[in-house]
Amino acid sequence: MLTSSQPEERVGAAIGEFIVDLSVLEQSEQLKHCFPDRERSHRTESIFAHPSLNCFAALGAPLRRQVRQTLIDWLRDDHSPLFEDNLVRDSVFVPMEHAKMHLPFNIGSFTDFMCSDVHVENARSLVHPYYIDSDTLTLMQCSRIAGVLVPPSHYAMPLGYNSRASSVIIGNEPIYRPRGMIRNAETGEYSFLPSQKMDYEAELAFFMSEPVPMGVTITAEQAYDHIFGFVILNDWSARDIQLAEMAPLGPLNGKGFASSISPWVVTLDAIQNARCTSTAADLCEGGTLELLICAMQTAMLHGILRWRYQSTVGLLER
């Protein structure tokens, strides 16, 4: 966040209608015990006086959990560092209406997975575009094209592609209609035109946390240690541009012109109490029923979510 009184971008935590400025709390002697390695090595660089959560996310799950619990304990204690000094209190609690939000992370890469049976079946129309007539093209997002099969690999693992990290923006930024090569369904000719078939997909996204060494594969069992938190994502699409370019190498400008995310990241620890059992497939050892966040429960009850988010982490390696 940033404010008019302090224009430097920094990290905060949402508490009701306020933001707790963690860059101010970081200066507290009581919070320093959460960073023992920094104290022992006499490192002075800030964790929260940064424009992104990257530094904090890289610290590891146990340390992040300790910082979170410390903040919760302080909010419950009228005599904590949050409340015992009026000057500190006034500088720590920032009204949300006075803050401007920005991207929560410095995003180095962005992978888009298809984890839902319905999503994959609807997307079949984009796999073999030359077999689609003009009527089917109009309805391609709600029609299942006879004779175009769901890839067998979808039932073995989550399928994904590397998207464009530089076009990820927060939700209140404007979306500009992209231009690209579009195929005329009647003549078969291509023209450079503004997209006339824009839509979006409401999705759940997560940020990785601890750095992964080159060549190391993350298993589904290790996923919880490498997931920092979740955001809502609007996956913008220009279907006519995507249709023209997708075969055989996959989407490019039709999917990479914008992806909107919420500025607030909900950590994995913050939603532990909302976990529930799931019948979604997983890649963990033994493949037994695991726990999933209840925000996905509706999708699972209708049988459309095949892969859990932990399973996608197992496919990410450097």
Is 77 among the domain residues? yes
Assign 272 a pLDDT band (cuts: 50, 70, 90).
Answer: confident
Assign 140 a pLDDT band (cuts: 50, 70, 90).
Answer: very low
Assign 63 a pLDDT band (cuts: 50, 70, 90).
Answer: confident
Residue after which a domain boundary falls, among 34, 67, 100:
100
From the list 29, 36, 44, 35, the residue with the least C-alpha distance to 84 is 29
Only one residue has tokens 């929260």, namely 48
Query: Strands, DSSP E only, in the chain?
Result: 2-3, 12-15, 18-21, 93-95, 99-100, 111-114, 159-162, 168-170, 179-183, 190-194, 198-208, 227-238, 259-261, 266-267, 275-277, 291-293
For residue 175, pLDDT over 90 is answered with yes
**What is the average pLDDT across 205-220?**
80
Are residues 146 and 273 located together in one domain of the fold?
Answer: yes
Is 106 among the domain residues? no
Pairwise CA distance, residues 101 & 263, whole Å: 6
Number of domains in the chain: 2
Are residues 115 and 137 located together in one domain of the fold?
Answer: yes
For residue 135, pLDDT over 60 is answered with no
Is 318 among the domain residues? no
From the list 216, 5, 214, the residue with the least C-alpha distance to 99 is 5
Poorest-pLDDT segment among 71-75, 99-103, 167-171, 200-204: 200-204
Are residues 21 and 120 located together in one domain of the fold?
Answer: no
pLDDT at site 93: 92
214 or 40: which leads in pLDDT: 214
Are residues 292 and 269 located together in one domain of the fold?
Answer: yes
Q: Which of 236-257 are b and which e, b meaning 16 or more Cβ less than 10 Å from the residue's Cβ?
A: bbbbbbbbbbbeeeebbbbbbb
pLDDT at site 134: 40
Cβ contacts of 188 within 8 Å, gap of 6 or more = none
**What is the average pLDDT across 70-95?**
86
**Average pLDDT of the chain to the nearest whole number:** 77
Is 142 among the domain residues? yes
Are residues 70 and 120 located together in one domain of the fold?
Answer: no
Are residues 75 and 165 located together in one domain of the fold?
Answer: no
* CATH number, domain containing residue 87: 2.30.30.230
For residue 13, pLDDT over 70 is answered with yes
pLDDT at site 311: 63
Domain that holds residue 39: 2-100
Are residues 46 and 168 located together in one domain of the fold?
Answer: no
Q: How many CB atoms lie within 10 A of CB 163?
A: 19
From the candidates 42, 119, 154, 226, give the one annotated as an active-site residue: 119
Percent of the chain topping pLDDT 90: 30
Is 105 among the domain residues? no
For residue 163, pLDDT over 50 is answered with yes
pTM equals: 0.79
pLDDT at site 283: 54
**What is the average pLDDT across 213-228?**
80
For residue 129, pLDDT over 50 is answered with no
Pairwise CA distance, residues 198 & 253, whole Å: 12
Pairwise CA distance, residues 251 & 244, whole Å: 9
Are residues 46 and 143 located together in one domain of the fold?
Answer: no
Are residues 152 and 79 located together in one domain of the fold?
Answer: no
The tens digit of pLDDT for each residue in 292-312 reads: 443 333 343 344 566 666 666
DSSP 307: B
pLDDT at site 309: 63
From the list 52, 36, 60, 59, the residue with the least C-alpha distance to 222 is 60
Residue 119 is among the residues annotated as catalytic for this protein: yes
Q: How far apart are the first and last CA of the chain?
A: 30
C-alpha pair distances (Å), 70 with each of 31, 50, 289: 8, 20, 33
Residue after which a domain boundary falls, among 73, 100, 127:
100
pLDDT at site 29: 66
Q: Is the peptide bond before 248 cis (omega within 30 degrees of 0)?
A: yes
CA angle, corner 225, sides to 28 and 211, nearest 5? 80
pLDDT at site 18: 94
Residue after which a domain boundary falls, among 49, 77, 100:
100
pLDDT at site 177: 95
* CATH number, domain containing residue 165: 3.90.850.10
pLDDT at site 280: 64
